[in-house]
Structure 1
Amino acid sequence: MSNLNVLVIDDEQNLVRSIKFSLNNKDLELSAAFTGQEGIAAFEQLNPDLVLLDLGLPDISGLDVLSQLRQISPGTPVIMISAHGDTRTAVKAVKEGAVDYITKPFDVDELELLMIRTAEQRRVTKELEFLRSKDDINNQIIGHSAQTNLLKNMITQVANSAARTILIQGPSGTGKSMVAKSIHNQRYSNAPFIEVNCAALPEHLIEAELFGAEKGAYTGATSSRDGLVALANGGTLFLDEIGEMPLNIQAKLLTFLEQRTFRPVGAGKERKSDAVIMAATNQNLALQISEGRFRQDLFYRLNVVPVEIPALQDRIADLPLLVAHFAKLMAQNEGCQPVSITPEAMFALQHYTWPGNIRELKNLLERMTILYPGQYITCDVLPKEIAAKTLPVTALECSYDEQVESKEKELILQALNASQGKKGLAAEKLGISRHALKRRMQRLDLDL
């Protein structure tokens, strides 16, 4: 555990000294305040990891201090210290946001254990918050083109429906997993999302992986195990590359989709699961059906609610926003300033066909950020196949007005991306009025 900064707010100075003296844990650093007002001031100055707060303070009540601390920093844990017989007020404090309470006189070892446990819970919570925020950043549907808006609307419609089977199709690298997560996150606030790549599973283990297995069902099955269908109960099982699933497993999946029951390998009884099944593929399933490699009945069962994702080339109007988004994301990952794209390089990016779609663009921005952190990206440093799509004349040969117009477009798109398409907020970031922004977008033919 890293150093834990603890603020003790208690008017009994001897008690505070006793706590400081008795705690031998070098990872605990204690600061003290002896009135409520002093405690609030110290809290704002020190930003501690944990607070020990006495309910009976000489100037204001501990509950009032708790209320003010919660307003300043809602996430900082507060443990209340109550006098013997005052547990009712301590319980009230817990209801109003304290994480726990301890009654005087208390054992210092008990207090130390309580503080360490509370700090560990807070650390785990902060890590989860960070991972969720990072997942949100990585899974945004970026863009305001007609095709992207249709996709966003489709995601919302599907998420608000009662559909239990969803088929997501689109070229490789377009973000099928991202779309699946977006549907799931809009539908559920706290439910499992389990993703499996059917192409990555060994054929002889895929049935056990999906439906589970009993002990001794096959060589190496030393204990019973739940499959992904059971683990996803109440949430979503996302089957990526569904076209790679063996025919015999396709039959078992079809049975599950129709009856919502399954039988683990080696089991005598069937089990139930309420998992939503989302499947994705970049393959032509109609062709696979004609070649006998995919079951037609499974296709129709999966294709109840089809979601089509456009290729990047078909939503190229979104490219400046996507570039700004990935430049910011990669800069955060690398701890540097985002790269900027010159007008000539942006022209090349917009006229490239992007066979690898969003994945290829993201990888390019990651490479540019690593090699040229915070710098302007010119055609000279772009891959040859992209740089070949450059302007017929260089930016230096363009008129001054053309260069200004191109830069103005770039700044507006960056502001819109940072504001998630909200024009009022984007105008504020640019330092202009909403009406001025609207006029400039019309003049620059930015139909977002």
Structure 2
Amino acid sequence: MAKIYAIDDEPSIRRLIKMIMEKENHEVITFATAEEGLKAIEKETPNLLFVDLGLPEMSGLELIKIIEERLYSFPIVVVSEITIAEAIIEAFKHGICDFITKPFTPTELIESFEKCYISTDTLLKRKKEVISLIESGKTLHASKLVSRLFANFPNSPVPHYLFALLASSWNKELARRHLNAAIALDPEYSEAKELLNKIDTGDEN
């Protein structure tokens, strides 16, 4: 479970972010102003911050610059209806991880979180989901999830293992390559070793 701060002057946006991320079993604390959010950050840093750019008094960009100057290390995701290229570029220059445009979907918010906050819990949750999809024959959906895992967890052996699970029924050589990649990333990855042995001995069932 991650501790998430969300700063937005629109109550409906604060409620929406809180609802979406609490359904994902994260703790969410919301603030209406950058000043309130900064006070909370000074007391305890979050695992991730969602912040609007168009805030009253201190802007979201000003807050982002302060966070950068003070060398805080948590990821920042901007959630804003401001789409001016210069503002977006400036925010990325000062260290934000991602930019979501309002209005946003729950999927966009969750995917941005997973992209920016790489957690073991998130990876294990997605792994179970992919295996369940494969077992129920929903391989196209499983394939799309695995593609996102490669993007979000590039240094993890898990996406390679899951892709090998998918590929083992139609391209054993491709499955072997991904299993070898998984083992190269984690020499102790027993699931990958077991599946590789099953493919080599022709005993995948």
User: Please, what TM-score do these two structures have when normalized by structure 1?
Assistant: 0.26
- In 1, the alpha carbon distance for the partners of 2:60 and 2:12 equals 19
- In 2, the alpha carbon distance for the partners of 1:59 and 1:9 equals 13
Q: Note if contact 2:53-2:61 (Cα within 8 Å) is conserved in structure 1.
A: yes
- In 1, the alpha carbon distance for the partners of 2:120 and 2:85 equals 24
In the alignment, what sits opposite 2:39?
41
- In 2, the alpha carbon distance for the partners of 1:8 and 1:89 equals 19
Relative to structure 1, is the Cα distance of residues 68 and 122 closer, same or farther in structure 2, using a 3 angstrom cutoff? Answer: farther
Secondary structure of the corresponding residue to residue 120 of structure 1: coil
2:27 to 15, 26, 29: 29
In the alignment, what sits opposite 1:309?
none
Q: Note if contact 2:100-2:108 (Cα within 8 Å) is conserved in structure 1.
A: no
User: Please, what TM-score do these two structures have when normalized by structure 2?
Assistant: 0.54
In the alignment, what sits opposite 2:3?
5
Mean CA deviation greater in 70-79 or 53-62 = 70-79
Higher Cα radius of gyration = 1
Shift of 1:84: 4.7
Q: Note if contact 2:80-2:102 (Cα within 8 Å) is conserved in structure 1.
A: yes
Cα deviation code 1:56-83 (max 9, x no counterpart): 0011111110011123343211111221
Relative to structure 1, is the Cα distance of residues 13 and 73 closer, same or farther in structure 2, using a 3 angstrom cutoff? Answer: farther
Q: Note if contact 1:44-1:72 (Cα within 8 Å) is conserved in structure 2.
A: no
Q: Note if contact 2:54-2:82 (Cα within 8 Å) is conserved in structure 1.
A: no
In the alignment, what sits opposite 1:113?
111
Cα deviation code 1:382-427 (max 9, x no counterpart): xxxxxxxxxxxxxxxxxxxxxxxxxxxxxxxxxxxxxxxxxxxxxx
5+ long unaligned stretches in structure 1: 124-221, 224-448
5+ long unaligned stretches in structure 2: 122-175, 178-205
Q: Note if contact 2:8-2:31 (Cα within 8 Å) is conserved in structure 1.
A: yes
In the alignment, what sits opposite 2:66?
68
- In 2, the alpha carbon distance for the partners of 1:121 and 1:92 equals 27
- In 1, the alpha carbon distance for the partners of 2:35 and 2:120 equals 25
In the alignment, what sits opposite 1:100?
98
- In 2, the alpha carbon distance for the partners of 1:107 and 1:88 equals 24
Relative to structure 1, is the Cα distance of residues 76 and 9 closer, same or farther in structure 2, using a 3 angstrom cutoff? Answer: same
Secondary structure of the corresponding residue to residue 116 of structure 1: helix
Relative to structure 1, is the Cα distance of residues 87 and 6 closer, same or farther in structure 2, using a 3 angstrom cutoff? Answer: farther
Secondary structure of the corresponding residue to residue 57 of structure 1: coil
- In 1, the alpha carbon distance for the partners of 2:119 and 2:89 equals 20
Relative to structure 1, is the Cα distance of residues 81 and 108 closer, same or farther in structure 2, using a 3 angstrom cutoff? Answer: same
- In 1, the alpha carbon distance for the partners of 2:38 and 2:94 equals 17
Cα deviation code 1:282-334 (max 9, x no counterpart): xxxxxxxxxxxxxxxxxxxxxxxxxxxxxxxxxxxxxxxxxxxxxxxxxxxxx
What amino acid sits opposite 1:102 in the alignment?
I
Relative to structure 1, is the Cα distance of residues 8 and 122 closer, same or farther in structure 2, using a 3 angstrom cutoff? Answer: farther
- In 2, the alpha carbon distance for the partners of 1:87 and 1:103 equals 12
Identity %: 30
Secondary structure of the corresponding residue to residue 105 of structure 1: coil
- In 2, the alpha carbon distance for the partners of 1:11 and 1:85 equals 17
- In 1, the alpha carbon distance for the partners of 2:57 and 2:43 equals 20
